[in-house]
Structure 1
Amino acid sequence: MSGPRKHILVVEDDESITLGLRMNLEAEGYDVTVAEDGDIALELAGSGRFSLIVMDVMLPKMNGFEVVRRLRDGGSVVPIVMLSARGAEMDKVMGLELGAEDYITKPFSLAEFLARVKAVLRRDAIARPNKRRVVEAGDLRVDLDTREVTRDDQLVELTPTEFDLLVCLVEAGGKVLSRGEILTRVWGPGHHGTLRTIDNFVLQLRNKLEKDPSEPNHLLTVRGVGYRFQA
């Protein structure tokens, strides 16, 4: 797979299915994050860093139909592929009318699943070839599609995790995010790292992106709460 690695969010509570999907998607060159229920899916999807969401219908806390509805009502345009053992025509119609790009009925072959994922991503790229998602903030330019960051027109090399953390803060639109929120959105709900991990990565980003890391203009600390991005 050429070009920047695409990041896929898999929302599925069945561990055996999740394992199979993750292994095969990663083998195809995709980065994968997993959410086990609808609430976590909504929180992660809000980070804006995913190229596609694979959404099971039968989920704990909030079903997949409701998650899709809320994402679309909130303005999200990320492509969604729904998975379900519910193969009734009305369920398929509901998923598609809510805004999903495809609906796959379980059981399915992994070859078919991967082919459909590629087809949805291909259609999405054709449908919006010039609609690049770019955020500009003073001397910084963040291209969410190519995963490139420049400062004063000079390319800045970021690790995948550093870039995901930056996008998480940028997509919050100036809102303060707690360290716990950042940990969940960037590393996923199953990560066992400490909150100090966030501080270390923010420090690394400041050293790469701020003209004066000791007096940051963009990556701001909100004492006792967390961090926010200032354009």
Structure 2
Amino acid sequence: MKKVLVLEDKAEIRQFIVINLKRAGFNVLEAETGEEALEILKNEDIDIAVLDVMLPGIDGFEVCKKIRETDKTMGIIMLTAKTQEIDKINGLVLGADDYVVKPFSPSELVARIDALYRRVDMVKNDKKEEIICGPFRLNFAQRRLFKNDMPIEVTQTEFSIMKLFLENQDKALSRDYILDAVWGEDYFGNAKVVDVNIRRLRQKIEDNPSKPKFIETVWGYGYRWKKDEHVEGN
């Protein structure tokens, strides 16, 4: 059964989330504090973590950061009461896959979690062994990205974006197409999440992120993966 960890310090909100997730068929574990969530994560195989941002002690951002230090495959959704763009970006930069702004409807949260679970599960169960493009190797068995045989730590969302690019090399992909392909057609957010994740991915794979060689911006449209025709293996 799909296992979700819900980290929320307000009992009424946490119970509201838990009840709706259980109704949707999820196995739900609860945590009231960041410290409690980290203890649960040590002993449970979690598919999706739903993390409230504003917490006393270890907050949701710190839990997200600690998860990503040891687990690149778990899906992470941040819950925030703030609408400032910086809070959404902070979570994504730390490795979150998505964010939901309070107040939210139960159907929205369940749809976001379900879409993220399908994406994580699809990557885990992809039967292809790997894709090789120039200096890059995307290994599906290990769910890891390598550049010149050196591992690059990526989240599941970044892994899915790389997979999409490497399967569509030299094709201009619109932001909406990337959003639908990676986050799912029922995603409630907007295409800004694509830009944030592309920026984060560039920081990891480009020699000079300010002058990207591989992920090109198609202004007013989206992005293109540019094959380096001079590199053996393309």
TM range (shorter): 0.5 to 0.7
- Tell me which residue corresponds to 2:23: 27
Deviations 1:186-219 (A, max 9, x none): xxxxxxxxxxxxxxxxxxxxxxxxxxxxxxxxxx
- Tell me which residue corresponds to 2:6: 10
Per the TM alignment, residue 123 of structure 1 is displaced from its structure 2 partner at its CA by 1.1
- Tell me which residue corresponds to 2:119: 123
Query: Which of 36, 43, 51 matches 2:39?
Result: 43
Question: Structure 1 CA distance, aligned partners of 2:20 and 2:112?
Answer: 13
**Aligned ranges for residues 55-94 of structure 1 at < 5 Å?**
55-94=51-90
- Tell me which residue corresponds to 1:145: none
Deviations 1:125-154 (A, max 9, x none): 222214689xxxxxxxxxxxxxxxxxxxxx
Alignment size in residue pairs: 129
**Structure 2: which 5+ residue stretches go unaligned?**
127-139, 143-234
Per the TM alignment, residue 100 of structure 1 is displaced from its structure 2 partner at its CA by 0.7
- For the residue of structure 1 that corresponds to 2:30, the secondary structure is strand
Instruction: Verify the 8 A CA contact 2:73 2:120 in the aligned structure 1.
Output: no
Per the TM alignment, residue 7 of structure 1 is displaced from its structure 2 partner at its CA by 1.2
Amino acid at match of 2:116: V
Instruction: Verify the 8 A CA contact 2:3 2:27 in the aligned structure 1.
Output: yes
**Structure 1: which 5+ residue stretches go unaligned?**
134-231
- For the residue of structure 1 that corresponds to 2:6, the secondary structure is strand
Question: Structure 1 CA distance, aligned partners of 2:101 and 2:46?
Answer: 23
- For the residue of structure 2 that corresponds to 1:107, the secondary structure is coil
Amino acid at match of 2:123: A
Per the TM alignment, residue 108 of structure 1 is displaced from its structure 2 partner at its CA by 0.7
Instruction: Verify the 8 A CA contact 2:79 2:102 in the aligned structure 1.
Output: yes
Tell me, yes or no, if structure 1 residue 97 matches structure 2 residue 78.
no
Question: Structure 2 CA distance, aligned partners of 1:65 and 1:77?
Answer: 17
Per the TM alignment, residue 62 of structure 1 is displaced from its structure 2 partner at its CA by 0.6
- For the residue of structure 2 that corresponds to 1:45, the secondary structure is helix
Amino acid at match of 1:100: A
Amino acid at match of 2:60: G
- Tell me which residue corresponds to 1:113: 109
Change (3 A) 1:104 1:85: same
Identity of aligned residues (%): 40
Query: Which of 39, 48, 55 matches 1:52?
Result: 48
Change (3 A) 1:132 1:50: farther
Question: Structure 1 CA distance, aligned partners of 2:49 and 2:119?
Answer: 15
- For the residue of structure 1 that corresponds to 2:13, the secondary structure is helix
Amino acid at match of 2:11: E
Amino acid at match of 1:43: E
Per the TM alignment, residue 38 of structure 1 is displaced from its structure 2 partner at its CA by 0.6
Change (3 A) 1:36 1:22: same
Amino acid at match of 1:17: I
Deviations 1:162-200 (A, max 9, x none): xxxxxxxxxxxxxxxxxxxxxxxxxxxxxxxxxxxxxxx
